[in-house]
Amino acid sequence: MNKIPVNRNFVWTETFVNQLVSIGVKYACISPGSRNTPLTISFSKQKKIKCFVHIDERVSGFFALGLAKAANTPVAVVTTSGTATAELYPAIIEAYQQRIPLIICTADRPPEKLNTGANQTIIQRNLYRNHIRWFKNVWLRDLSERKIVSVKRIAIKAFKISSSQNKGPIHLNFPFRRPLEPDSYTDEISKELFDEISKPLILSDKIIEPDELRKKGKRLIDHISDKVSGNEKGLIITGPLVYNQKLITGINQLSKVTGYPILSDGISHLRFNNSAASKNVCVNYDTFLGSENFRKYHKAEFVLHFGRTPTSNILEEYLNFSNPARFIINEYGDLFDPSGKTKKAIRFNPVLFCEMLIEKLKANNTGKEKTNWQKVFEMADSLVEELKTGQLNKVGLKYEPKIISELVSSLPKNTNLMIGNSLPVRDFEWFASRTNKNIKVFFNRGASGIDGVTSTALGIASIQKPVILLTGDLSFLHDLNALISAKKSGTPLIIVLINNNGGGIFNSLPIASNKKVFKDFFITPHNLNIGKIVKSFGLEYFLIKSNLQIKLREALKKKSFVVLEIKTDSVLSTNFRKKIRSEAIKTLEKELFVK
């Protein structure tokens, strides 16, 4: 019988990649190296997979994170062995915390090379053990049909876990023995076995029927609807999450039926959808919940919480103080209550949860006219909004909050917005007003690092258009290597860069008064010329002093990569925030409590 010469590593990687493609993997992010040759070649040959190449693995990891979040489908990430694998760790942590599907494929040296002083050899076995949903060392000990099928099964399991069963990143480690090139043959196999490589297993998936789910949820819904019926003083919190339209609609209807105001996080999408027309959506709670009287006289008794932990610390303080019955609902039962008061989250499909609760409440006839509770929240929100707008109209772009209001009012419909951590996300929470422009907001609030921000935005921009990134200068500098990928790929992305020459957020910390250490160890001014840096990568750059709106429109028309830098005054901005907050609280207390 005729035998076919093969390289064993390729039997393994071709089988694996063929299987991934057959179940729907469409993207791979690959970094250069030698040990990963079999994986790289197998992915790059696939017409149905779009490959992105990044020389820096940290960039690659975050790019894949952005891409996977925007596409909501697993993205494969390929690296060589050694420290290259560790460069992925920050992105893996973020993906773990946010449950973003990544299939991490690290090439490794064979086990006999471990602890021998062999080059580029580290212990990669379950390297990310605290932040990974599944790990598997992928071995092909012999070239039997059984072993080839087991590689296919691993690919299927990787896909299923990462995309749904326990959504998030999974790690497959491939120890490859030399030779690593496809035409350096190591074995001979039969035609039948050879054909197995390109024959994927059919994915058999047990789909849970909605009726089955409904049955499971009935007791829960009965229990909650009983509580809602007896509690006028309820709130709906929409924490950070990329909400789909069904969930947005469900939450809005739930708010109407229950009469509960929606406290919508700046990065929750509910502020920027058609739901925003409803006054039920509050956006200024971070200010009005700062009023002691408001807290005291308007304690929440019942909370339905969707999405992650809210950005607003004041909201958390208010909840601690009110001590309501808090129901945290999400697909995986992840807990988002740093106070530790809620012991367990509800593991249930949030869309179905809304649907079932609405049905039940309507059946119980609890839908009613606006309550006083609702009116107070609406009134407080409008009052702060008016005051805030008045103050913002008086200042220019030197004041960081002004950048938020100009940005939100200049965005075209259907924009994707990535918000960096530190002050951008805080200011966005405080100063982004409601709009119905259908703005989809992305963020890295899983671990809230200032790393990988530009790379994540580039990953989103590789499949969504247009994308605007709002980021601070230290975050931008932290991820400069992303500019290499931006230049190489030509991906259109507009970066609105708030440059306050260091970590402006620290100005609001008590340590700011310790002049001795504050500047050098906290603010860390860099005095770098951002324009020169960006241009040195061959990318476009503009310094913006006013009229952000015009520059933004021009940049959007060009459909290219551009950095719009705005130099701000961190101290002025800090004082401005304080002033707005204290004036708003004073006015609110006068209106609501001194009559």
Ligand X SMILES: Cc1ncc(C[n+]2csc(CCOP(=O)(O)OP(=O)(O)O)c2C)c(N)n1
Instruction: Give me the residues that bind ligand X (CB under 6 A), please.
Output: 421-424, 448-451, 472-475, 498, 500, 503-505
Alpha-carbon separation of residue 69 from 11, 102, 130, 248, 418 (angstroms) = 31, 10, 21, 18, 11
Minimum CB–partner distance for residue 535 and ligand X (Å): 20
Shortest Å, Cβ 571 to ligand X: 12
Q: How far is CA 335 from CA 86, 260, 306, 308, 346, in A?
A: 28, 22, 11, 8, 8
In the complex with ligand X, the residue whose CB is nearer, 322 or 422, is 422
Buried b (16+ CB within 10 A) or exposed e, 422-446: bbbbbbbbbbbbbbebbbbbbbbbb
Name the residue nearer to ligand X (CB basis): 114 or 477: 477
Q: Kindly state the smallest distance separating residue 523's Cβ from ligand X, in Å.
A: 8
Q: How far apart are CA 403 and CA 545, in angstroms?
A: 11
Q: How far is the CB of 512 from ligand X (least distance, A)?
A: 12
Q: Please identify, using beta-carbon distances, which residue of 4 and 571 lies nearer to ligand X.
A: 571
Distance linking the first and last C-alpha atoms of the chain: 98
Residue 537 beta carbon to ligand X: minimum distance, rounded to whole angstroms: 19
Nearer to ligand X, 475 or 491 (CB): 475
For residue 344, give the amino acid letter. Answer: K
CB burial string 516-548: b at 16+ within 10 A, e below? eebeeebbeeeeeebeebbeebebebeebeeeb
Residue 307 or 503: the one with the smaller Cβ distance to ligand X is 503
Query: Judged by CB, which is closer to ligand X: 497, or 585?
Result: 497
CB of 453 to ligand X, least distance (A): 8
**DSSP per-residue string spanning 462-477:** TTSSSEEEEEEHHHHH
Specify the residue for token string 């990134």: 469
Residue 66 in 3-state DSSP?
Answer: helix
**Residue pointed to by tokens 């970094």:** 31
CB of 474 to ligand X, least distance (A): 3
Cβ proximity to ligand X, 233 vs 445, nearer residue: 445
Under 8 Å between Cβ of 458 and 433: no
Alpha carbons 316 and 307: distance in angstroms, whole number: 14
In 50-176, DSSP assigns E strands to: 50-53, 75-79, 102-108, 134-137, 169-175
Instruction: Give me the least distance between CB of 421 and ligand X, in Å please.
Output: 6
| Residue with tokens 């609405």, as numbered in its chain | 358
Closest to 251 in 3D by CA, of 229, 223, 231, 271? 271
| Residue placing its CB nearer to ligand X in the complex, 50 or 567 | 567
Q: What is the number of the residue whose Cβ is closest to ligand X? A: 472
- Name which of 101 and 452 has its Cβ closer to ligand X: 452
Shortest distance, CB of residue 328 to ligand X, whole angstroms? 24
The answer to whether 77 and 102 have CB atoms below 8 angstroms apart is: yes
Across the chain, which distance is largest between two alpha carbons, in Å? 98
Residue 577 beta carbon to ligand X: minimum distance, rounded to whole angstroms? 12
Q: Which is nearer to ligand X, 337 or 400 (CB)?
A: 400
